[in-house]
Amino acid sequence: MARLDEIISIVNQRKKVEVNELAELLNVSKVTIRKDLDRLEKRGMIHRQHGFAEINNQDDLNYRLATNYDLKKKIATKARELVNDGETIIIESGSTCVLLAEEIAMHCKDVTIITNSCFLAAYVRKYENIEIILLGGEYQKDSQVNVGPLIKTVVDYFYVDKLFVGIDGYNPKGIFTGSDLARADASKLMAQSADKVIILTDSSKFVQRGLVTEFNISEVDTIFTDIGIEPQLCKQLEQQGVNIITV
């Protein structure tokens, strides 16, 4: 997995890289690189064309997963330390959340993941040591998530310790924001079935504004982010009782 992560990071930075150059950079054979690229292409992470590897279409969900991949992977790896073997948790559909689900599937045992993300469920389907409970609802084709009031019908059967969720922006008034009303509402419904709301986001989201309110600062327990977060903002969030963990 480490080499696949390196490939994603290189292609993400360069946007387009020759296959032969990748083999040289990683000190492996061209045959090995081609096999690695085949695996990544099947997962939709990259696209191969005429001896090159390139980032997927920007409108594709996998593109968002590959954007800032190295940071998201570090955040997901750190957040996984909060998850215990045998635990049931809720994970929302953000790209970093998808990588968290994979980290859990790779390193934890007998964890049950409740999610509204069809993409997440498919992404970790090959792992046998986790169970997935997929919340039903209205299917959004682009984001590959289920939304709407039917989410509440199923999620009300559960109460868990942790909800892991992504955000699209932050308002200095202490409001974490999303870009889609239906997805934000789904996150709020899932939060009602969890004791703690845990946000996973790279620091770039703190200088962006989403369209709709997702959570007030008083509703958030912990934020996993990277060291790019402004120290003053970090201090303000901590003063409001939010636990900030940086990687």
pLDDT tens digit at each of 247 positions of the chain? 578 878 888 887 788 899 999 999 999 999 999 999 988 887 777 888 888 888 766 556 777 777 788 899 999 999 999 999 999 999 999 899 999 999 999 999 999 999 999 999 999 999 999 999 999 999 998 889 999 999 999 999 999 999 999 999 999 999 999 999 999 999 999 999 999 999 999 999 999 988 899 999 999 999 999 999 999 999 999 999 999 999 9
CATH of 2-65, one of 3.40.190.10, 2.60.40.10, 1.10.10.10, 3.40.50.12140: 1.10.10.10
Instruction: List the chain domain ranges.
Output: 2-65, 69-246
Could you tell me the two tokens for 41? 């292409």
Reported as a single tens digit per residue, the pLDDT across 163-200 is 999 999 999 999 999 999 999 999 999 999 999 999 99
What integer best gives the mean pLDDT of the chain? 92
Q: What integer pLDDT is reported at residue 146 of this predicted model?
A: 97
What pLDDT shows up at residue 57?
A: 61
Contacts of 185 (CB under 8 A, 6+ apart): 147
The 10 Å CB-count burial string (b at 16+, else e) for 70-104 is bbbbbbbbbbbebbeeebbbbbbbbbbbbbbbbbb
CA distance 158 to 190: 9
Gap between the Cα atoms of 210 and 197, Å rounded? 18
Q: What is the pLDDT of residue 151?
A: 94
Question: CB–CB of 54/35 below 8 Å?
Answer: no
Give the CATH fold of the 69-246 domain. Rossmann fold (3.40.50)
